Amino acid sequence: MNTPNQSQKRKNIFYWIFTLWMSLGMASTAIVQLLQNKDELANFTNLGYPSYLMIIIGVWKLLGVLVILTPKRLLLKEWAYAGFFFVMSGAVISHLIIGDTVGRTFPAVLLLVLVIISWYLRPDNRKISTAIQ
């Protein structure tokens, strides 16, 4: 039988697994975008976006990862999660609108799911609601 302590410990472990996976995905795609990798550039232009947007999104992704992984700054964490949600849901929708293949759409879907799971599982000390009370 699980005690509340064991349950919280398990939740924290899952939080860090999903958060590190999400952070790795966001950081790696940010680096590819900042380096303006030719495949990523082709992907961006295929979606109808200007190439300079890759730099903007890449910088914001790296900053978001830093905020998510560091302690404190709860309001910034909420903004980072919201930004990740908007960027990745926008990417999924963009792929769907142009009729991209599942293989080209799946990475955005995976990152979107990881963002949602990480946000949902975050410990109480990483939530604004518990800090205000």
pLDDT (tens digit per residue) in 5-42: 888 899 999 999 999 999 999 999 999 999 999 999 99
pLDDT (tens digit per residue) in 61-89: 999 999 999 988 999 999 999 999 999 99
- The reported pTM is 0.89
- Which residues, 6+ apart, have CB-to-CB distance to 17 below 8 Å? none
Q: How far is CA 115 from the centre of its chain?
A: 4
Give the whole-angstrom CA distance, residue 131 versus residue 63. Answer: 23
User: How much is the CA Rg of the chain, to the nearest whole Å?
Assistant: 16
Q: Which of 114, 130, 89 is closest to 25 using CA atoms?
A: 114
Q: What is the pLDDT of residue 124?
A: 84
Q: What is the pLDDT of residue 91?
A: 95
Angle between helices 102-121 and 74-97 (to 10 degrees): 160
